[in-house]
Amino acid sequence: MLFVDFKTALILVAFFHIFGNLGRMAFFRHGIDKKLILIFGVPSIILTVIGALLVEYASQEMLKLILGMFLLVFSTTSIIKPGFKFKPSGRNAVIGGVLSGFFAGLIGTGGALRSAFLSAFNLKKTVYIATAAAIALAVDVTRIPIYFRSGFFESRFYIYLPILFVIALAGSYSGKKIIDKIPQDTFRRMVFVAVALISLKFVYDGITFLI
């Protein structure tokens, strides 16, 4: 969103997610938890549709502010309380699917909430990656047609898609290679600090616009 408008960014990120999740599913295809995909994925898909339909009626700066606040709260909470987890219940799986799906459709990112809820089930690393990727793939495939129908994407941005495809697959492959070599806590903290910093930019932009 530093380079393109919010709605264009929504579609580019959705495609990038699809490419990356296809790679993760290919590399970790033997680890999918089918039960979680059902109880978590179905609510995600339904609420993704609702969230994506609401994008057309909200201002881009307001959406940027919502995104920034969401990412800031989640990242700082994750840094301060790295061991925080939800209880591993079917009810929480549905709630997680609802919330992550809605925000994925509305502001383009539900992965943070998806991770918070799925991590409660103590899945093996490969099972977690494959299951999360399958759910995310279904969500992104659902929201992209809605964005296109709403006219969010201009033809001049199509050139970015093959580039994103190559980067996404390269990233998934690299992740597979280093997943056991970098301490997970160290990596998580690095990611959350980066997310917190960029979210401050989005919050500032949104507040400045409203003032």
Q: How do residues 98-116 score in pLDDT, each as one tens digit? A: 988 998 898 887 777 787 7
Rounded distance between C-alpha atoms, residue 55 and residue 196, angstroms = 23
Q: Looking at residue 53, what is its pLDDT?
A: 92
Q: Looking at residue 184, what is its pLDDT?
A: 67
First-to-last C-alpha distance (Å) of the chain = 20
Q: DSSP character for 29?
A: G
Q: Looking at residue 62, what is its pLDDT?
A: 81
Spatial CB neighbours of 211, under 8 Å, sequence gap ≥ 6: none
Is the four-CA dihedral 172, 168, 76, 33 of positive or negative sign? negative
pLDDT tens for the chain, 211 residues: list them. Answer: 778 888 888 889 889 888 888 877 777 766 678 888 899 999 999 999 999 999 888 777 787 788 788 888 878 887 887 766 678 888 889 998 998 899 889 888 777 778 778 877 878 877 888 888 889 999 999 999 999 888 888 888 889 899 988 988 888 778 777 766 777 677 777 777 888 888 888 788 778 877 7
Q: Is the pTM of this model over 0.95?
A: no
Rounded distance between C-alpha atoms, residue 17 and residue 12, angstroms = 9
Q: Vertex 112, ends 201 and 15: CA angle to 5°? A: 80
Tokens read off for 116: 């918070």
Q: Measuring CA to CA, which residue among 7, 37, 45, 12 is closest to residue 168?
A: 12
